[in-house]
Structure 1
Amino acid sequence: MSNISRILVIAVTLVLIVRLAQLQLFQGRSFIQRSAQNRFRIENIPAVRGLIYDRNGDLLVDNQNGSRRYLKGPDFAHIIGYMATADVDDVEFFGVEMGSWVGKMGLEKEENQILSGINGGVVREYSANGMPLREFSQKNPISGRNIQLTLDGRLQHKARQLLLESGFSGTIVVSSLEGEILSLVSYPDFDPNIFSQNQQPEIVKVLQDLQKPLFNRAIGGLYPPASTFKLITSIAGLESKSITSQTEIEDTGILRVGEFSYSNWYYTGYGRTDGWVNLAKALQRSNDIYFYKVGEMTGIDNIDIWAKKMGLGTKTGISLEGESEGLVPNPVWKKETLGEDWYLGDTYITAIGQGNLLVTPIQVNFVTTEIADGGKRCPLNLVRLVSDGIPNNIVDKDISKRCYDLGISAKTLETIIQGMQLACDSGGTGWPLFQFKVINDKLPIDGLNFIDDASGSAKAVKIPVACKTGTAETGSFDQHGELNDKTHAWFTAFAPVSKPEIVVTVLLESAGQGSDIAGPLAREILKTYFENKE
């Protein structure tokens, strides 16, 4: 062996000795720790997610084979929402691990912390070949709490069926005077089970659907309120002392201001006029000429004040993502946004709910509820109570109403309600609710009239209804660039008049007249409610 070879052998040997010493003396502890980590694993024990019930105790959502099961399919889609795997935004928002299941929409997201519970964990020791040997320090998971909604499953299903059968996109909102939402449906909709079951082809189809089935029209859709806004114009006129309940204005069919003409729907459609009308009759007939003049006498500033006081131009605060504020235009807004002055014609069209005025269906329902509830505003609520699954052990129940008085005089409310009741009686615009009656011998007699049913086999109960119709010009253009003459159909109502229990608001997009198209749906909702009331 040459000297060079010997030197190389000695050098390599020394390097190996030094490396071995380093491993033994300096890194031995690190390798021991790594070995222990390979033997011991911390494993997650997921908490059982809370269940969701309707107000009657009927189960709406449960868990099956580790995934969420939505028992009513699309019925509650826009309220309950759905679950899916967490992305980067969810990791930051919820503080969960990437890929874990979280609520992505609706109450599944808004109440995720309540529903999800707290995960547990266990430390397990494994053998070198991966076999479990024993467990250490197990921490049991805490199940998520159950939620009972304010919604009525029967009304919710009926509302969706009515929208589906109508053939139009739209929404139905039903509430009680305590601020509880009894039904909220938006159509088109989707089946949340496709997300929990990760049905990718169906998910892609929903995401690419041009009709936007994920969009909640009830809280996010913006529409001109049309004649439903005349309720606010009336309140502004009366409360500002600009008019009284007996103020009369002659309907001449057309109101001319300079080179501009403003007509009444009755004259435009039938060539007829209503003659001299007071406020109650103007609401009954939805007379445009009357409200043009009331708008002029009241002034846009007073109308603006009361529109915002009643909740327009701001979110209602319902516990769902995606709510729109709407828009209440005024001279300042027009100047800053459009760079134009405000004219009398702007006041005219705003007073009848057209122009740049935009509202959501839930806002119209909110305003109607305030009138029915004697001028009180109560926060909207979707969750009735929260429990931990043990019978009669209620963890949390929201009983704080936080209602407050809007300061509307009793005389004003009396006049408005009188006009709304006339609108739903002979001679009014709400013809689908004329002589509204149901068959239910369990209803209390107070304030209601029992009449002979046509069949002679049962007693029907006549229920007085107060309502307001609306037919909104869209101002939109079709695919050919032509002005769309299709109108949005509005109908908002409450019943019984003397002691209101339920408020119904219907909006159908590009469907036609409010009384003809939306009114029959409102009637069916009221019928379902009162025929099943005990």
Structure 2
Amino acid sequence: MVVLAALVFVMLGGAVYRLAELQVLEHRSYALAAHDNRVRIDPVPPPRGLIYSRNGILLAENVPSYALVIVPDDVHHMAQTLQALTRLLNIAPTDLKHFTQLLHRTPPYRAVPLLTELTPKQIAKFAVERYRFAGVHVQAHLVRRYPYRGLTTDSVGYVGRINATELSKVNANNYAGTDYFGKSWLEADYEPQLHGTAGYVVHRVNAGGQPLETLQRHLPVPGQDIVLTLDKGLQEVAQKAMRGKLGAVVVLNPRNGAILALVSSPSFDPNWFVNGISEKRYLSLLNNPAKPLWNRALQAGYAPGSTIKPYIAVGALQDGVVTAKEKIFAGPYYVLPHDPTKHKFWDWTPYGAGMTDLKKAIEESVDTYFYPVAVKMGITRLDRTLAKFGFGKDPMPSLNGVASGLLPSPAWKRRALGQSWYPGDTVVMGIGQGYLQITPLQLAKAVSIIAMHGQGFVPRLVRAWYDPTTHALRPNPPRPLPTIRLRDPKYWSDVIAGMHAVTASPNGTAYPSFIGFPHTVAGKTGTAQLFSTPHTNPFARQAPVPYNLRDNNLFEAFTPIDHPQLAVVVVVEHTGVRIGAASRVARKIMTYWYAHRAQIDRPLHQLKLHTQAKPPAKQSAKPTPHPPGHQVMVTIRAGDTLWQLAHHYGVTVKQLVKWNHFVNAGQPLSIGQQIVVWTQLPVSKGKAP
């Protein structure tokens, strides 16, 4: 009996122990199993590479935000879910359409973004109703932001929400969880480098798709940062000088091809496109007569007008058509030899210039000097000369979408228009009219070649690449062009002397804009007609002309002459017969550059980026004050987000990121992770809300 009692007692004790083990020691594992848990791999998109100015100022950054995402596998009735979410959060039809397109291109076990930038009000509404929406989650992510709005739109470009077509052209695994894709200019051209490599987190989740436990984490590799050649201050000065004007500005360093400023006026705010621009706003841009969506600096084709004359002068000297000292009579008009119609090609002044040599012809922009010079050269030699300076070719092949302009020829005219090339076509090409079309970037590249006496460089916007993982800064070296060699190198000086007189001589066409300027400038003005009428007084012909048919004003220049470091091209549209609009803009740009050139030309090894490690602070006698309130150590639980924590403790997401350097606003929190919170609210310590 005693033995039997002992046996019963032992068996009872074992049962009690096993019950305790099940209820206490193994409660968590069985609780997970009881929730029909399974393993889910969640992609972690990489932080997109940042874009800096040449001196380390952020031009494109990533800011924390929250998105509403749906995991299709966890949703039983997608149509009903979308209808309920639309009623709850007032989702726009365009967002629903975009979601539907991505839904068909995304594996059903991966989250598909529905809303990419939730407002605090939307987050609060969804938090209350969250229990109704299995498979729908609020997810932290990073949103692209352009802090200077339209300052660099026409070089940096912008990103937008990735669409099904773009997703089909990339590695879908690497873009899992990615919301944005480069749409234009540098953001589009360097999409692979800026994007980075995706990571992932392995979660154990319950039947509703809510994370219960983090099993594994593989961090993403951030995209490469880009350091541009653009100087923010110079860009601001150029844009301000063009305010209220239509046109473009390109500023180059002729010694290495670095683009210091690139402006298309007017511009637009690229932030409008990041999360999808509204139809109303997009139509307002599209139908704006000023065409803000058109990149004038890189894509617009302009008749160069008289800015083409220095290049023709170089070719005429090289081919022995004229000499620098040879004088030609330049009357008020020119008539082609043996022309039975006696058609008059007028000078831009009604009186002509009399006996004119090369220097005077450039200084005073004498049309009737260049008409016969162009005829003597002929279209074949004209084309050959202009092609050497890059006209008719893509000036920056590394960037997609840059226009090549038009260098016309008899073969082109026959092919494009079905017409023969006439002598009159050659005459007007000698003053930059007719079919010849150039872009502002081409003109900046060409004038840089003259400044450097035949040596040129491919224009470039990227100064260096920065790897945020290795902290390595990799320069993007200049790419030299084939040197233009002349029979006599003095020909360069002959042409530059005429260009110097343009700004320094009282008879120079840009002299009024440069009176009192303390530095040497070689330049050339240009007035390009958009239509022609017979006239005897050129100054009267613009009076009845509609605004959009008035002449364009151009100016090209470089400074200082003896050691060129700055080349500037300005185009101002529809100024009419007034000259000086473009050259005044150029002077403002040059004035700023001379005042700040030491900072603008700071060597690359002195560059400081905010992503680089800062040197340790010096020890201070006074202790560093902590944030107001008391410190709370919070342990992360399933479903916690930074926004929820910030709302609960009365702080901001930015403060949480600042206090916890290992926390990334664009990545999910790990269950069991501990973070620091400084709060003035009376709360219990140790657990998340």
After TM superposition, the score normalised by the length of structure 2 is 0.64
Aligned to 2:430: 351
Structure 2 CA distance, aligned partners of 1:203 and 1:488?
28
CA contact (8 A) 2:547 2:574 kept: no
**1:303 Cα deviation after fit:** 0.6
Q: Is the 8 A contact 2:36 2:207 kept in 1?
A: no
**Higher mean C-alpha deviation, range 181-190 or range 395-404:** 395-404
Per-residue deviation at 1:74? 0.6
1:404 positional shift: 2.8
Q: Where do 1:470-509 residues align within 5 Å?
A: 470-475=526-531, 485-509=549-573
Partner residue, 1:80: 156
1:261 alignment partner in structure 2: 344
Matches within 5 A, 1:113-192: 113-164=192-243, 167-177=244-254, 178-192=256-270
Residue matched to 2:446: 367
The residue aligned with 2:472 is: 394
Find the aligned partners of 1:499 and 1:372 in 2 and give their Cα distance: 9
- Post-superposition Cα deviations, 1:265-292, rounded to whole Å, max 9, x if no partner, equal 122xxxx332111111100011011100
The yes-or-no answer on 1:193 pairing with 2:276 is: no
Change (3 A) 1:412 1:88: farther
Q: Distance in 1 between matches of 2:37 and 2:355?
A: 91
AA partner of residue 128 (structure 1): A
Counterpart code for 1:512: G
Q: Are positions 1:463 and 2:539 aligned together?
A: no
> Which residue in 1 is equivalent to 2:78?
none
Deviation of 1:529 (Å): 0.8
CA distance in 2, matches of 1:186, 1:355: 24
> Counterpart in 1 of 2:83?
none
In the TM superposition, what are the counterparts of 1:229-378 in structure 2 within 5 Å? 229-257=308-336, 258=339, 259=341, 260-267=343-350, 272-317=351-396, 319-378=398-457
Q: Which of 502, 509, 527 in structure 2 is aligned with 1:429?
A: 509
Please say if residues 312 and 328 of structure 1, whose CA atoms lie closer than 8 Å, have aligned partners that are also in contact: yes
Return closer, same or farther for 1:394/1:434 CA change in 2, 3 Å cut-off.
Answer: same
Aligned to 1:3: none
CA distance in 2, matches of 1:367, 1:36: 71
Identity of aligned residues (%): 33
Q: 1:400 to 1:472 in 2, by over 3 A?
A: closer
Displacement after TM superposition at 1:88 (Å): 3.1
Alpha-carbon distance in 2 for matches of 1:132, 1:416: 73
Instruction: In structure 2, give the amino acid aligned to 1:48.
Output: P
Mapped contact 2:447–2:567 kept (Cα < 8 A): yes
Q: C-alpha distance in 2, partners of 1:389/1:221?
A: 36
Question: C-alpha distance in 2, partners of 1:154/1:483?
Answer: 32
- SS of 1:265 mapped into structure 2: coil
2-structure distance, mates of 1:504, 1:357: 21
- Deviation, 1:403, is 3.5
1:514 CA displacement: 7.0
Hey, what does 2:288 align to over in structure 1? 209
The Cα of 1:57 is off from its aligned counterpart by 1.5
SS of the residue 1:405 aligns to: coil
What's the secondary structure of 2:597's corresponding residue? coil
Distance 2:59 2:495 in 1: 39
Kept in 2: contact 1:52–1:146 (CA 8 A): yes
Q: CA RMSD in A?
A: 2.5
Letter in structure 2 aligned against 1:53: Y
Instruction: Check whether the contact 1:173–1:361 (CA below 8 A) recurs between aligned residues.
Output: yes
Corresponding position: 1:40 with 2:39:
yes
Distance 2:37 2:195 in 1: 30
Give the letter for the 1:494 counterpart.
Answer: F
Q: Is residue 524 of structure 1 aligned with residue 601 of structure 2?
A: no
Q: 1:413: Cα distance to partner?
A: 0.7
Kept in 2: contact 1:432–1:515 (CA 8 A)? no
Contact 1:476-1:484 at 8 Å conserved across structures: no
Which letter maps to 1:68?
Answer: R
Greater Cα shift, 252-261 or 93-102:
93-102
Contact in 2 for aligned 1:150/1:381 (Cα 8 Å): yes
Q: CA deviation at 1:76?
A: 0.5
Change (3 A) 1:296 1:88: same
Shift of 1:263: 1.3
Query: Residue 131 of structure 1: CA displacement?
Result: 4.0
What are the Cα deviations for residues 410-445 of structure 1, in whole angstroms up to 9, with x where unaligned? 1111111011001112211112443443xxxxxxxx
Q: Is this contact kept in 1: 2:35–2:206, CA < 8 A?
A: no
**Cα pair distance change 1:37/1:255, threshold 3 Å:** farther
Displacement, 1:395? Answer: 4.1
State the alpha-carbon separation in 2 of the partners of residues 244 and 481 from structure 1: 39
SS in 2 for 1:493: strand
Decide whether the 8 Å contact of 2:53 with 2:229 is kept in 1: yes
User: Secondary structure of 2:563's match?
Assistant: coil
Aligned to 2:641: none
Contact map agreement 2:333 2:352 (CA 8 A) in 1 = no
Q: Deviations over 1:324-379 (max 9, x none)?
A: 11111122222233333322211110111001111111111111011011211211
Partners of 1:524 and 1:176 lie apart in 2 by: 17
Give the Å deviation of 1:36: 13
Give CA deviations for 1:389-411 in whole Å, capped at 9, x if unaligned: 379x4342112533431223411
**Structure 2 counterpart of 1:59, one-letter code:** L
Q: What is the aligned residue count? A: 468
Distance verdict in 2 for CA 1:514–1:370, change over 3 Å: farther
For the 8 Å contact 2:161–2:275, the answer to whether it is kept is no
Displacement of 1:388: 1.6
Structure 2 unmatched ranges of 5 or more: 1-33, 65-141, 534-541, 599-689
Q: Answer whether contact 1:491 1:514 (CA < 8 A) is retained.
A: no
The 1-side partners of 2:495 and 2:306 are apart by: 14
Q: Which runs of 5+ in 1 are unaligned?
A: 1-34, 438-461
Report the 3-state secondary structure (helix = DSSP H, G, I; strand = E; otherwise coil) of the residue aligned with 1:299: helix
CA, structure 1 residues 38+323, in 2 after alignment: closer, same or farther (shift >3 Å)? farther
Q: Distance in 1 between matches of 2:228 and 2:547?
A: 42
SS at match of 2:433: coil
Give 1:251's aligned amino acid: A
Q: Note the C-alpha offset of 1:520.
A: 0.7
Is the contact made by 1:432 and 1:519 (CA closer than 8 Å) also made in structure 2? Answer: no
* Displacement after TM superposition at 1:44 (Å): 0.8
Shift of 1:301: 0.8
Distance in structure 1 (CA, Å) of the matches to 2:372 and 2:402: 33
Find the counterpart in structure 2 of residue 383 from structure 1. Answer: 462
Tell me what 1:415 maps to.
Answer: 494
SS of match in other structure, 1:376: coil
Contact 2:304 2:432 in 1 (8 A): yes
Distance (whole Å) between structure 2 residues aligned to residue 80 and residue 514 of structure 1: 33
Aligned equivalents of 1:36, 1:137: Cα separation in 2? 20
Amino acid across the alignment from 1:194: W
How far does residue 86 in structure 1 lie from its aligned partner after superposition? 1.3
With the length of structure 1 as denominator, give the TM-score of the two structures: 0.82
